[in-house]
Amino acid sequence: MLNALRSFTKTLPLLLTAFLLSVAVWIMAVTSSDPSIEKAYPNNVPVEIIGQGSDLVITTDLPEKISLTLRAPTSIWNSLIAQKVPVRAVMDISGLGEGTHTVPIQVQIGIKPVEISSYSPRSATVELETLKTQQFDIRLINQGALAVGYQSNPAELSESTVLVSGAKSFVEKVSEVRAVVKLTDAKTDINQTITLQAVDANGSLIKDVSLTPDKITVTQKVFERGGYRNVVIKVVTNGQADVGFRLSSLSVYPPTVTVYSTDTALIDALPGYIETKPIDLSRKTESFEQEIDLNLPAGIQVIDNLYATVSVEITPIITTQSFSNVTVDSTGLDSPLTATILPEQVDIIVSGPLKALEAINPNDLRITLDLTGYSRGTHTLEPKYSINYPDIKVESISPTTFMVTIQ
C-alpha cells in the first residue's frame, strides 16, 4: 500500500502536466474553430429606466442609447447581431428621492461567454422631482371672427376640464389651459378637434406637462343674422356675339356676396341672387374680362365690393361642310421627277369656324399629297395630306387611297 502511494506521488506531476496539456489543446482547438472577435455592437441599445417611484418625475434629458463594444466568439456574434440574445442598458433609480443623482448605466447580456470591452456613456445625471396633478377649466379662445352677417350659438366642448400632470415646478407654472377655435370668415357650423395648450401667465406654451385629455371637440352653430344674407351673383347679358361666334361660358368673382338691409322683409324677399348690370356681347369675337356693377334693389346694400369681375369666353362656332371634285396636288418630289395622281379629284368633308368655312372658294380649294422620299415607279398611297386653308381641318376624304405614278 505504501509503495503504491509512493508510486502515485511520483506520477502525479506527470498526470497534472498531461491534464493541463489536454485542456490547452482543447482550448486551442475551440478557439481556432470559433475565434473571439472584438467589435462594435451594431444594434441600438436603448437606455431603460427601472425603479422609478410613481410619485416622482424625471426632469432632465437622459441618454436614449449607448455605444457598446464587445468581444465574443464568432458563433455568439451571429446570435447577437440577429438580436436573438437580449442586450440591455439599465439605469436603476430604485430608492432615489427628489434631487440630482449620478446613476451608473449597467449593461446586461443574456449569453456567455461575452466580454464587455467598453461602452459609453457609463453613467447619467438624473434629476427627480415630485409628481403633481392639477385640474383646470378649459378656456375657449376664438381666433378670428365669423363672416360679416353671421352669428353663432355658444360653443359646446366635449370636455370642460382637463388634468395637468408633471413635475411640481412645471405644473405650478401653468396659468390656464386653452382651446383655440378658428372662426375666421366662417359661414357654416363649427366642428373642430382641437389640441389643448397649457400656458403660463405670459401666454407662453408649457411643453413639459401632460394633459388628459390632450384634445377636445368644439361644436358651434353658425347662422345668418337677421337683416343679413349671403346670395350668389347672377350675370346678366344683352346682345349676341358676332355671326359665327358664340358665348361659351361666364364666370364671376366673387361668386357670392353678403347683402344687408334694415328692412328684414326686403332680405327675405330676395330670390337667392343679386344680378349684375347688363354686359354687352354685341359683335364680340374674342373672350374678355370686365368689372361690372351689381344691380342692387332699393333698400339693399352690399357688405363688401359693389362690383364683380366677370370673365366671358367667346369661341368660334365649329361646323362641317362637304366639297366635291377638289383638285389633288403634290409636294416634296425631287426635280426632275413628275407625278401622275389618280384620282385627280376627291370629295372631302372639312370642319372649322363658320366664318372660315363661308370664306372658302371651292375653285381655290386644294388637297396636297406629300411625296417626299418617293422614287420612280407606281405607288399605292394612303399619304399625309394638307389643305390650303389654315383654319380648316379635313375630317374625311374619299377615296382614301391614291395611285401615284412617278417618272
Same domain, 59 and 74: yes
Tell me if 79 is assigned to some domain.
Answer: yes
Q: Are 294 and 302 in contact (CB under 8 A)?
A: yes
Which of 121, 140, 166 is the last residue in one of the domains?
A: 121
Instruction: Tell me the pLDDT tens digit for each residue of 122-153.
Output: 999 999 999 999 999 999 999 998 887 788 88
Q: Which residue has the higher pLDDT, 233 or 331?
A: 233
Quickly state the pLDDT bin for 384 (edges 50, 70, 90): low
Which of 164, 196, 224 is the last residue in one of the domains?
A: 224
Same domain, 220 and 135: yes
Tell me if 13 is assigned to some domain.
Answer: no
Same domain, 272 and 340: no
Same domain, 161 and 172: yes
Which DSSP state fits 300? Answer: -
Same domain, 236 and 272: yes
Same domain, 198 and 239: no
Quickly state the pLDDT bin for 7 (edges 50, 70, 90): low
Contacts 24+ apart (CB under 8 A), 239-244: 239/280, 239/281, 239/282, 239/283, 239/284, 240/281, 240/282, 241/281, 241/283, 241/284, 241/285, 241/314, 242/283, 242/284, 242/285, 243/354, 243/355, 244/316, 244/317, 244/353, 244/354, 244/355, 244/358
Tell me if 22 is assigned to some domain.
Answer: no
- Compute the average pLDDT of residues 24-50: 73
Q: Computed over its alpha carbons, how large is the radius of gyration of the chain?
A: 46
> What SS3 class is residue 26?
helix
Same domain, 249 and 286: yes
Torsion on CA atoms 244, 247, 249, 252, rounded to nearest 10:
140
Tell whether the model's pLDDT for residue 383 goes beyond 60. Answer: no
Does this model's pTM top 0.85?
no
Tell me if 18 is assigned to some domain.
Answer: no
- CATH code: domain of residue 195: 2.170.120.40
Quickly state the pLDDT bin for 29 (edges 50, 70, 90): very low
Query: CA 396 to CA 346: how far, in whole Å?
Result: 10
Tell me if 344 is assigned to some domain.
Answer: yes
Average pLDDT for the chain = 86
Tell me if 23 is assigned to some domain.
Answer: no
- CATH code: domain of residue 63: 2.170.120.30
The phi, psi pair for 375, rounded to 5°, reads: -115, 180
Quickly state the pLDDT bin for 2 (edges 50, 70, 90): low
Same domain, 115 and 144: no
Give residue 23's pLDDT: 46
Which of 224, 255, 272 is the last residue in one of the domains?
A: 224
Give residue 28's pLDDT: 47
Burial of 407 (0-12, 13-18, 19+ CB in 10 A): exposed
Same domain, 322 and 307: no
Give residue 85's pLDDT: 74
Same domain, 246 and 305: yes
Tell me if 29 is assigned to some domain.
Answer: no
Quickly state the pLDDT bin for 252 (edges 50, 70, 90): very high
| Total domains present in the chain | 4
Same domain, 323 and 396: yes
Instruction: Tell me the pLDDT tens digit for each residue of 345-380.
Output: 888 888 888 888 888 887 777 778 888 888 888 888
Q: Which domain holds residue 94?
A: 36-121
Instruction: Tell me the pLDDT tens digit for each residue of 100-126.
Output: 999 999 999 888 888 899 999 999 999
Same domain, 325 and 259: no
Instruction: Tell me the pLDDT tens digit for each residue of 47-71.
Output: 999 999 888 999 888 999 999 999 9
Residue labelled with grid coordinates 375653285? 363
Quickly state the pLDDT bin for 387 (edges 50, 70, 90): confident
Query: CA 213 to CA 160: how far, in whole Å?
Result: 10
Tell whether the model's pLDDT for residue 305 goes beyond 80. Answer: no
Lowest mean pLDDT segment, chosen from 101-110, 257-266, 281-290? 257-266
Tell me if 308 is assigned to some domain.
Answer: yes
